[in-house]
Structure 1
């Protein structure tokens, strides 16, 4: 996508065109600077709400997931239907009610559950639905579902299988690729967590709090334990993501419980083969201030105070928000700012997910104008590459 993101003062024309996916965030302030104040009003804690969630957003063809529609603060009059299109079959499964009392305030939640069956490969979106309730109509947000090719199912009682599910099969060098590691097992105990290999990749930490759901595979009901991490390719070409393995203890097939309820068990190593991932180079023509950030970001920029004498400090406050390598984001060089003295910047990172792939990073940079001739701050730009 080609474009310039102008912050605070609109769009900025340039004499060159950025390559596909390259974007530049630019902020401008001047003396005197008038800042618009936004009044954010939080919704009442008593307001009725409706939200949807999936116990897993990636599932193979032929398997099922559980969709939960939660209504809080009111009672739905009917159970709405979800349209899964040609790729998903969605059927109502049940309804439950929970009531909690905290500090004398009673809260009621009604959970409507649905079974989502994957029919064919592809990326699908469940549209939001409107719920008629005693508090009036409520609407949910869309939910994304990725269906991948089905694999072989575990064989034999107590055995297990492992599946590696990348979020995409083609990416750019340096791009974060979220991964799911799905363990299918009837029963067992993990002895050593997933060990992921792959030449040409840097891997993030594999989360130590996997999610656990149940699914139907053929005529069997299995537990699905899902671990999540990210892979970042550091070179281009057709790379192999994996193999991956873990160690677990499972019951010996055919064994029976003894008097104390225990079964004979043995240790097994569960593996999954490597998958191909095509890694492309970044397109040419990146802006000079591009420092390697790849993802989707927004920039918020302001400076103050705006009335000062020579030698008084000005604090630049920059916030980068979005999805990508949040922790490694850096400010661009201000070497082009003539007539200023600079102090080292400080930063604070707030991550929005356990895989550390989204959130915000706030910077503060103190600059000091050295001449009374300076009447405004130079333009501030920060460039990134959007792989989408």
Structure 2
């Protein structure tokens, strides 16, 4: 009997005994809700965990905390916490069942001071439960000589709807790990936000930037500030003001773990071996929060005077270049027109007005209403459209126009392209002779009489041969065997393939989870080949491989995973404390090795690779 069946056999037996003896009726558990945090003192910009434990029900409603005034909240998931117990004392059987549900949130304070998480309502079994308020002490961070943050705007004065670029540079003087950017500006309703094109210079490499609102992509490089050299992480965001006014751009706080020293790791045989294969130095991390400088932004309203009727909200000094191919056509032939817009730094949101609304163009050309979406190439946004000339008098593609507002001159303007010369020929009438391929005056050949007549093709009976035909001859022919045998093989092969694909598409995440460990081993082989090269690159690749594995096993996106994200999920899946501690150190060491131009000094890159291999091997047994 299996362990599973044995368990349910015991439960059934105890239930029968309880029914026979009339004992062990479980009482209804009292409903309650409690809230607790993992810490109540932190710096502005740090995040903390809020847990709401509901007792007496395993299906409560999930509270929406997006309306908290002083905190940004993100729901990290929840799970049931049910338990049952059966006891037999002196022949008396009692059976009790406890129902519960735990909800986990990640909260980030919006300001410094003494903040209060208000009572939170949740509904269970048609009853409204309230948690008690919790006080949180939030301190103001300060910069240090080793770590500084600077933010700047491409323009400090702009108009409503004009995109401007916010640039944040984090200057790093020591090894760091486990970082995130807290940007209060992203919660402002007065602005829209977008991600600019990533323009990478030589010597820079892309890095993930965890933020309080999600994740972005930045660039790691080097730079100077006040005469000192630093490793830099640069992050940009496009701001689009939605209303006029003067705005204070709050400081950006970067939260990270800084290496403050190193401690020797003990060998498995006891004692400390700093110079042997068993001993190595492990970094000691301290939580640090560094603020940036504040900024001011003045936003003016667009003038109403002189606004063109077809103005679409485009702000900037625009230039339009138009090319066409071919330029020598017949009436009705397709002409592909390419329109290149340039000028403003940010062009992603710019759209070209429909060309059929431009009278000078629609007068001489047939223009479809649909247009392919634009694409960014370098400093331009390109649009393509197919048009057709409607008569032979067309000599050019007239200028393409775009209404815009020039913030430098403070006036509405119309950007125009140069005309494109065309040569349009009148369409020639196609005759029956053209269709037959005959030249004028050319006639078909006359029929000739065959002197021998139709009997010329006759042969006598002696030319006839007997060819046997029937089922016995079919299997002696390769062709007939193929005709009979191949269709069933194709059918069964198609059936097996379709069945396999259906299973995969029914649960593709399950397939990804099964392949996670072999994929990790393949990545590890590649990393091992370069384990003696660039330490920063090895740490970055190794952390990506571990994230990809954990994301596949937990069925969550891997690109945004941090240790804080995976810790509650892995613990809930059965990972023990020792494994989680090893995983946290691996995250810290790899992230520390990816920054400040050096490694985390937690052993050689080969040591990190082996530690990751053992850790993932342990997780593979836990997560099966």
- Normalized against structure 1, the TM-score is what? 0.49
Q: Please identify which structure carries the higher strand content.
A: 1
Larger radius of gyration: 2
Tell me: higher relative CO, structure 1 or 2? Use CA pairs within 8 A at least 6 residues apart. 1
- Normalized against structure 2, the TM-score is what? 0.32
Q: Please identify which structure carries the higher helix content.
A: 2
